[in-house]
Amino acid sequence: MVYVTGDMHGDLSHLKGAPLKKGDTLLVCGDFGFIWYGDKRDAAALRALSRKKYTVLFVDGVHENYDLLANYPLVEFGGAPAWQIAPNVYRLCRGEVYTVEGRTIFAFGGGEEPFEKSLRADTGSYYDCCMPSEEELRRGREALEAVDNRVDFIVTHTPSAKAGAYTRTRRKHETGLGVYFNVLEEAVTYKRWFFGCLHLDRKVSARHLAVYRAIVPLD
């Protein structure tokens, strides 16, 4: 069975009481955070994840150490390229369609938070590559066109601008990426769209679900 959750920020307690069992899959909607320090703390956390009997997949978010993430090998997973972090842990590429337990999933990480950028840029902990490149945006359109713009689910860190507006939070999502997602949403047939970043567990529309601490079934 496939489950979805939100920003973990390297916190193993997020998985406490998780309904996952052997052979299941967990999708994390960005801000995975277990590759952060580049030392034994990361190694210990990854060892703990490696002992899980299920597979962990994540899209990247805003709070990631992209320098460290770049060191992992690119392999094939679910019919598309992905970075293998541990035997059962994979980072999904932006703009690819994966087949996971018989479901097709369009994955697209990254995000843009202007306030966060101004707060963190001076410390060197903000990465410009949080925001997807033109090549990644193009790849996303082409991957969806290759499957006739039909997938079962969409998993991102950032919501579309339309979905972000439903939440009525103080955060604004009229960013370039949010608008890009608006365009995709008009073209793509899908069942449900999951996203993290807002730190909310809420069904914000008939097909948009914000996830954070909850671990919810994909279907």
**Domains along the chain?**
2-217 (3.60.21)
Least confident of 40-44, 107-111, 126-130: 126-130
The band of 167, judged by pLDDT with boundaries at 50, 70 and 90, is low
Whether the pLDDT of residue 135 is over 90: the answer is: yes
In sequence order, which residues have a C-beta less than 8 Å from that of residue 120 and are 6 or more positions away? 126
Whether the pLDDT of residue 217 is over 50: the answer is: yes
Q: Could you tell me what percentage of the chain is helix, strand and coil, using 3-state DSSP and rounding each to the nearest 5?
A: 30, 25, 45
Whether the pLDDT of residue 164 is over 70: the answer is: yes
Average confidence score pLDDT of the chain: 90
pTM for the whole structure:
0.91
* % of the chain at pLDDT higher than 70: 89
The band of 130, judged by pLDDT with boundaries at 50, 70 and 90, is confident
Q: What are phi and psi of 36, to 5 degrees?
A: -135, -45
Determine the Cα–Cα distance for residues 53 and 83; give it in Å rounded to an integer: 19
The band of 123, judged by pLDDT with boundaries at 50, 70 and 90, is very low
Average pLDDT of 60-87?
Answer: 95
